[in-house]
Chain A
Amino acid sequence: MFPTSRMISSALKTLISPQNHQLVRRAPVSGTAKGKAKLKSGQPLKRSTVRTKKAPSGDAPRGGRSRNEAIERVNRMVDSCLNAPTPVRYLTAKERLREAEREKLGLISKDRQREIDEAKARAKSGKGAAEGPVIMGTPGLDYITLGLVDKDAIPKYELTVEDGRRLAKEYSRFLMRRHRARQAAETTLLNLKKEAIAALPDHLRKAAMVPDFTPFPANRFMATLTPPIEGYIDKVREAAKQFAGKEKLR
């Protein structure tokens, strides 16, 4: 019989051959291995200390507070984004029925309450004031202020489905008419070109029929919203050079 583990001192444990070491691990009383080889009695268990990251209290309380505030603000922003309201609530038919029934019972949900309040506020204040044309796009660079559209010539409409359909029909009719006119004009252009080529004398016609594969010029100017400002590109280049200079200093 081998001597029990309790009898063997820790210094001698390393001298024991691996074969014996396996047997030594078995608990003497219960006969099962209970990991006694690694633990020594009396040693504190490693998992008992819970280390948490506390904000160092050595900092002035000012610093800690601003950090809290920043965290608070971020949380507030996130919440307001997640619960952001829409001007008109989107409800399916089933939801609408349910809302109506709940109102009969007297239960009003938060969203519905908000809708009612908004409607009341609008009825009180907004009866006189009309909304005016909504600005689409960046202010200052939208179509109306730039003079691309006559403000007065825009037809009046409400935000209803029927009005939307009427507007859509007129829009489509107008654009289709323009498209067809453009197609017709392009066909006449092509026909004129064909005739011109046919009217050329033979040797010139052969030269004209050769397709021209030279690439398009790279600096062709694309039509933009406003014309280019004189001298602006030079300013931009100068400022860019200065900016690049700053980068190199670092």
Chain B
Amino acid sequence: MRRSAAQYLVQPLLRSRRFSSSADAGVGGSSNSSSEKIVAAVLFERLPVVIPKIEPIVYAFQEFSFRWRQQYRRKYPDEVLGKGDARGKGDYKIDYVPAPRITEADKTNDKRSLQRALDRRLYLLLYGSTYGASDDNAVWHFPEKVYENEETLRLCAESALKSVIGGLNHTYFVGNAPMAHMVVEPKEDSQKPPSLKRFFFKSQVIGTSNLHIGKCKDFVWVTKDELMEYFPEQASFFNKMIIS
């Protein structure tokens, strides 16, 4: 089973077109782990809380079909139909006013809150120093950790997230494998490492609506469009990596 999967992976790679910047580094695979650093980064996302907006044409068609069907439906008198409401509601069903879909965080555009864009996914970005950049400038980056000798890369990613959030109770890592990788080419600066491979792991927020983020100067929860603004030069890569 494993052998066939490996063959399945290697063959397309041998004849692959270069549609990401990592193609030349990716072909080697097993060699030179000493000179390059491997970094496990975490794409921490909060799934949408509310259903997304509906296009007018979709709604128009649904309305049309609804009215068309209603034409041939019998009109029952109201006293017959009203019986359902008359049945006493139990005390435990309290009448409620539905909460608005556009929250206060939307109005104030508070990027640190998780209540912001409820119908879209939010991704966590940290502002601080990372391995790839030098220690003086802080950059916007995903929570990440350099791989030392742990068992798997996923454990490395989990510890990265744990150091930021404080615990793994509210996270769910999707699968053991990374979802994408990025190779950061070295610049002319001698301090920089030879090359850096950043592997992204996907994980989701479960069961909480606010998290305390520590160990960084600043953090934001951003939607996909805002993410593009934070990373102008890698925008196309993130466009492929993140769907919405």
Contact = CB atoms under 8 A, between A and B. Distances in A.
Nearest to B152: A207
A194 B10 CA distance: 9
Contact of A208 (B30, B70, B153): B153
A41 to B, nearest CB: 60
Interface in B156-183: 172, 175-181, 183
A197 B177 contact: yes
B149 to A, nearest CB: 10
B176 A207 contact: yes
Given A86-B72, A148-B51, A188-B240, A136 B92 contact: no
A149 B180 contact: no
Interface in B92-149: 92-94, 96-103, 115, 118-119, 147
B88 to A, nearest CB: 12
A196 B177 contact: yes
B29 A199 contact: yes
B231 to A, nearest CB: 16
Interface stretch (A1-9, A10-18, A220-228): A220-228
Nearest to B79: A77
A146 B240 contact: no
Interface in A88-133: 88, 90, 133
B114 to A, nearest CB: 11
B153 A204 contact: yes
Interface in B1-49: 2, 5-6, 9-10, 12-13, 16, 19-20, 22, 25-26, 29-30, 33, 38, 47-49
B172 A224 contact: no
A229 B115 CA distance: 12
Interface string A190-207: 011111111111101111
Contacts of A136: 62-63, 66
Given A195-B20, A199-B29, A81 B76 contact: yes
B243 A186 contact: yes
A217 interface: yes
Interface string A203-245: 0111111111000110111011111111010011001101100
30 contacts: A80-B80, A81-B77, A87-B71, A136-B66, A141-B98, A148-B101, A154-B59, A159-B64, A167-B60, A171-B58, A192-B179, A192-B240, A193-B177, A193-B178, A196-B200, A199-B26, A200-B178, A202-B29, A209-B5, A209-B6, A209-B176, A209-B177, A217-B206, A220-B207, A221-B47, A221-B49, A229-B96, A229-B98, A235-B94, A246-B91
Interface of B: 2, 5-6, 9-10, 12-13, 16, 19-20, 22, 25-26, 29-30, 33, 38, 47-51, 53-68, 70-77, 79-80, 90-94, 96-103, 115, 118-119, 147, 151-154, 172, 175-181, 183, 197, 199-200, 204, 206-207, 240-241, 243
| Nearest 5 interchain pairs by C-beta | A207-B152, A84-B74, A171-B61, A196-B181, A153-B56
